[in-house]
């Protein structure tokens, strides 16, 4: 498995399995299928309600704990220094691990940014104590990163943001790249676009992507994953189906040309699929994260 070296020297497998919206009862089988297909990185979150099943599947595999990179996220309801330290205990307890490989803040809380800063300070503490191997953020825009970097002592290792051919956030990516922050693409094959109205119902049916896929005898999903990897992004495609889980990791035996990468770059619509990061508030999105 190809890896990306984070800004503190830790190596992250470039491709992992995402488990957002994977029901808890299907998570064990999805993670097991992924590990059997060669995945060594799982991306979950406290808010997904399936950390326990992720941990169970990793523990039940033949792999040593050190061979699987586990990433999870602190939900906004647990922001604040002490609350975030406790949130680590909740996540580690459900995952059944002593150390989490990558722990990130799930969202900025723009209207209460001091809570976001306090949460990040707790991540820095966890890193110093060896409870986590790397720390980062998610859905941080340039303004949020700028505010955070004004007080942080540790530069986030990753910023996990929505990136797929129809929404590429080049400005956020470039800002991160200049500061050693790896962009990790969520909805990397455009999952969030599948239900939207328009000329193409989803990235999977986009004629440009379909044509490139046909040229390589690969699938549209594989072309999109290759596009990310060749541009240096970490990717975490989600599927609950074993055959798609296997398909999504089978992307290391072909290469897109410069023209093909540029053609995919040209598909950006500038239209966000996920929630507007500036509008995330505890009132609208807060929810209790259960104890381990
Ligand atoms: P993806 O781009 O990974 O797409 C997932 C969708 O594509 C599902 O409907 C899946 O269906 C389908 N699919 C998967 N593989 C294939 C394939 N080879 N061919 C056709 N269809 C396929 O989108 P997600 O939004 O799920 O994002 C991936 C991960 O990113 C999440 O699981 C999560 O870990 C993370 N994420 C993080 C967010 C954040 O705020 N930080 C927000 C959203 C996601 P099926 O399961 O039926 O195969």
What's the CATH number where 173 sits? 3.20.20.100
Is there a catalytic annotation at residue 48? Answer: yes
- Rounded to the nearest whole angstrom, what is the distance from the C-alpha of residue 288 to the centroid of ligand 1? 24
Residue 75 covered by a domain: yes
Residue 83 covered by a domain: yes
Number of domains in the chain: 1
What whole-number distance in Å separates Cα of residue 38 and Cα of residue 288? 34
* pLDDT, mean of residues 49-77: 98
In this predicted structure, which of 82-91, 115-124, 195-204 has the lowest mean pLDDT?
A: 195-204
Token duo for residue 31: 């993670």
Question: In the prediction, which pLDDT does 199 show?
Answer: 60
What whole-number distance in Å separates Cα of residue 292 and Cα of residue 164? 34
- Rounded to the nearest whole angstrom, what is the distance from the C-alpha of residue 54 to the centroid of ligand 1? 16
Taking CA atoms only, the protein residue closest to ligand 1 atom 42 is 186
Residues of the chain with pLDDT > 90, as a percent, come to: 96
Residue 3 covered by a domain: no
pLDDT in tens, 73-102: 999 999 999 999 999 999 999 999 999 999
Token duo for residue 216: 């390589």
Atom of ligand 1 nearest to the CA of 241: 48
Could you say which of 48, 79, 120, 166 is catalytic?
Answer: 48
Say what the pTM is.
Answer: 0.98
Residue 246 covered by a domain: yes
What whole-number distance in Å separates Cα of residue 238 and Cα of residue 292? 24
What whole-number distance in Å separates Cα of residue 47 and Cα of residue 78? 10
Residue 290 covered by a domain: no
Domain that holds residue 18: 13-285
């Amino acid at each position: 498995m190809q890896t990306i070296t984070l800004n503190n020297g830790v190596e992250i497998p470039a491709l992992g399995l995402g488990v957002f919206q994977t029901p808890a009862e299907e998570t064990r089988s999805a993670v097991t299928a992924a590990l059997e297909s060669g995945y060594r990185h799982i991306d979950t979150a406290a808010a997904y309600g399936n950390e326990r099943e992720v941990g169970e599947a990793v523990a039940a595999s033949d792999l040593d704990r050190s061979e699987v990179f586990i990433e999870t996220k602190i939900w906004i309801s647990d922001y604040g220094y002490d609350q975030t330290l406790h949130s680590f205990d909740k996540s580690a307890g459900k995952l059944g691990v002593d150390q989490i490989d990558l722990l990130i803040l799930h969202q900025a809380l723009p209207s209460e940014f001091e809570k976001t800063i306090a949460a990040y300070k707790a991540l820095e503490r966890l890193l110093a104590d060896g409870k986590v191997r790397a720390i980062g953020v998610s859905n941080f825009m340039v303004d949020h990163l700028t505010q955070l970097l004004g007080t942080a002592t540790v530069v986030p290792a990753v910023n996990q943001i929505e990136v797929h051919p129809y929404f590429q956030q080049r400005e956020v990516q470039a800002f991160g790249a200049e500061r050693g922050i790896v962009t990790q693409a969520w909805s990397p094959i455009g999952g969030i676009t599948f239900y939207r109205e328009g000329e193409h119902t989803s990235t999977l049916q986009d004629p440009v992507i379909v044509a490139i896929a046909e040229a390589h005898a690969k699938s549209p999903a594989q072309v999109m994953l290759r596009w990310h990897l060749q541009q240096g992004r970490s990717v975490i495609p989600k599927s609950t189906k074993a055959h798609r889980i296997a398909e999504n990791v089978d992307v290391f035996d072909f290469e897109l040309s410069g023209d093909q990468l540029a053609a995919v770059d040209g598909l950006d619509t500038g239209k966000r699929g996920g929630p507007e990061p500036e509008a995330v508030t505890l009132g609208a999105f807060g929810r209790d994260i259960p104890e381990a």
